[in-house]
Structure 1
């Protein structure tokens, strides 16, 4: 389908070697129109202010980011990640997150002029002292938690939206299918889905712990999941999308690999170190992310497309690192616009 509207934004992960104002400037310089803001970026700014990390300084940091974005004509498309929320067994902690953390995030969102908060699927590990689980896979509880946060968002003026995203290493919600089923059960107008090409492919196509980097049935599985995506998703509930690739590793990510962490899923370790922009096959990109993106746009998606990159390359102390990544990102986006005939 030609002439499909899309808007580009950039999200350069959580790497604090380079100052956020520099990254924002480079994103704007290269032609991006929006940016995802990580809460941790605001924490980093806050710690540099007199008094350190306080609520008032977090709000001050958000105001600083808002001023910069306004001067650069950048839209903050979302604040993220509101994680380790749904399915908590500790209900007192659940209540605290809503009473304290969410209240703060609403205030930050209003300052940043964004109405969208991203909730990644929960992967909170067991308690390190007792070994007991801290989250449940009970769908009634997960659905109820998301209904509760959505209802609180609806009471705000203006209302807030929540984009629920399945992480490939999520404990109970690790596919877009499970994520979508939950969104449908929550049945709130302000609770939708974020479709991420990396997380979709990383779950059903890739396996960084294997020498091939792929599951045994990768090609058939990705075709099947894309077919289901087209049939099942109501595109009106896709609040925004994220488009990035992943690097095929030269050695399996198992014990002995430099990125191996014993109590961390291999897909998570891989994700944190080796994401790539689409069309970067020369850097090792191998996931069918363009096929996934095409399916989403063919469904009629119109809205923000974010290039959410996590990579070891972001911590390169070279002052040109933010510029290099922003250039790589916009080159990737322009190729996607050309190949899919998107109208930006």
Structure 2
């Protein structure tokens, strides 16, 4: 499968500020072929048009995406699941929430549900609510994968390590978990932001970098090239991060009490690749090159979170769609990526877009 361009629905505008149908139209108009559908967007649409009925909203989204020739890459995030100390809650998610997501996935026409590594904060007494016990984490994820295999057709799961997660915050840990889960429908997402954001970036430091940033990232990339079986990589995400003008401490406007600094940075200051003029500084190209050098071909999604997405201007989705499209064109050229129709379809569409804007 040639590399195909996707974007997260949340990366075109904030739910509740920018409606999902408008964002989907902008994605199609700017040459995207797939959407990572965030449940928050689906939920907002359900409340806006269907009296909270997620099933009706899913049918509406599927029909709209079919009309726009957009694929739904995945439904996400199925979060705060694995490694819970509250085993009753883990069972509720597995046996009550998950079947509803299976139904939504079938309606939406996707066989993929994304699970971010757990970042559930401590309780009000400061006590942890998750365990780092690897056997428990693996067992929980085996249970969810087995439920997926029982579906017709089977549902796959894509696990992603978040740079601020409680226990699984590096791709190496994520990949070890995927190997130990050892199910054909359980794989991983490789994300330039979360990989570099963990071992290279430190938003709390004046330099924006960890003490051994360059060496640590080189080692991580070399390890990735040597170790990862590309068949376990279900899709990749490629975005950058903004170097802050001041350390993200308690006085910083991005600070949120009780949340990790990297999470606050991520929520406010991601950028598309090649946006150095906006402050981009992560070695995105080095990380991304490793993904394709190990043989990855498939969905390349631009999952961006930013304060700019909350801008109520109706042009916000169009502006972000255009920025992402421009980033993709530069990435394809820089890495000489194999894409569907050698980008012919996208370039023709972009010519129309540029002529009408």
Same fold (TM over 0.5): yes
> 1:291 maps to which residue?
286
Match of 1:262 among 257, 260, 267: 257
Match of 1:121 among 108, 114, 117: 117
8 A Cα contact 2:9 2:24, kept in partner: no
In the alignment, is residue 29 of structure 1 matched against residue 29 of structure 2? yes
> 2:347 maps to which residue?
none
In the alignment, is residue 8 of structure 1 matched against residue 2 of structure 2? no
> 1:65 maps to which residue?
61
Deviations 1:276-304 (A, max 9, x none): 00000000000011111111101110110
In structure 2, C-alpha distance between the alignment counterparts of 1:295 and 1:132, rounded to whole Å: 39
8 A Cα contact 1:122 1:170, kept in partner: yes
Please give the secondary structure, in 2, of the residue aligned with 1:158. Answer: coil
Give the C-alpha shift of residue 99 in structure 1: 1.2
8 A Cα contact 1:12 1:310, kept in partner: no
Match of 1:99 among 74, 79, 95: 95
Q: Which residues in structure 2 correspond to 1:1-344 (within 5 Å)?
A: 5-13=2-10, 15-16=14-15, 17-49=17-49, 52-53=51-52, 57-128=53-124, 130-344=125-339
8 A Cα contact 2:145 2:157, kept in partner: yes
Please give the secondary structure, in 2, of the residue aligned with 1:293. Answer: helix
TM-score (norm 2): 0.93
8 A Cα contact 1:9 1:36, kept in partner: yes
In structure 2, C-alpha distance between the alignment counterparts of 1:131 and 1:225, rounded to whole Å: 32
Give the C-alpha shift of residue 46 in structure 1: 1.4
8 A Cα contact 1:9 1:34, kept in partner: yes
Give the C-alpha shift of residue 12 in structure 1: 4.3
In structure 2, C-alpha distance between the alignment counterparts of 1:89 and 1:101, rounded to whole Å: 18
8 A Cα contact 2:159 2:186, kept in partner: yes
Instruction: Please say which of residues 85-94 and 7-16 is displaced more in the overlay.
Output: 7-16
In structure 1, C-alpha distance between the alignment counterparts of 2:127 and 2:204, rounded to whole Å: 26
Deviations 1:216-252 (A, max 9, x none): 1101111110000000100010000000000000010
Cα root mean square deviation, aligned: 1.0
Give the C-alpha shift of residue 131 in structure 1: 2.5
TM-score (norm 1): 0.96
Please give the secondary structure, in 2, of the residue aligned with 1:10. Answer: strand
In structure 1, C-alpha distance between the alignment counterparts of 2:129 and 2:218, rounded to whole Å: 35
Give the C-alpha shift of residue 179 in structure 1: 0.4
In structure 1, C-alpha distance between the alignment counterparts of 2:305 and 2:9, rounded to whole Å: 6
Give the C-alpha shift of residue 38 in structure 1: 0.4
Deviations 1:306-332 (A, max 9, x none): 000101001111111100100000110
8 A Cα contact 2:39 2:76, kept in partner: yes
8 A Cα contact 1:12 1:309, kept in partner: no
Gaps of 5+ in 2: 340-357
Gaps of 5+ in 1: none
| Matched pairs, number | 336
8 A Cα contact 1:209 1:252, kept in partner: yes
Deviations 1:132-181 (A, max 9, x none): 21111111100000000000000000001100000000000000000000
Give the C-alpha shift of residue 35 in structure 1: 0.5
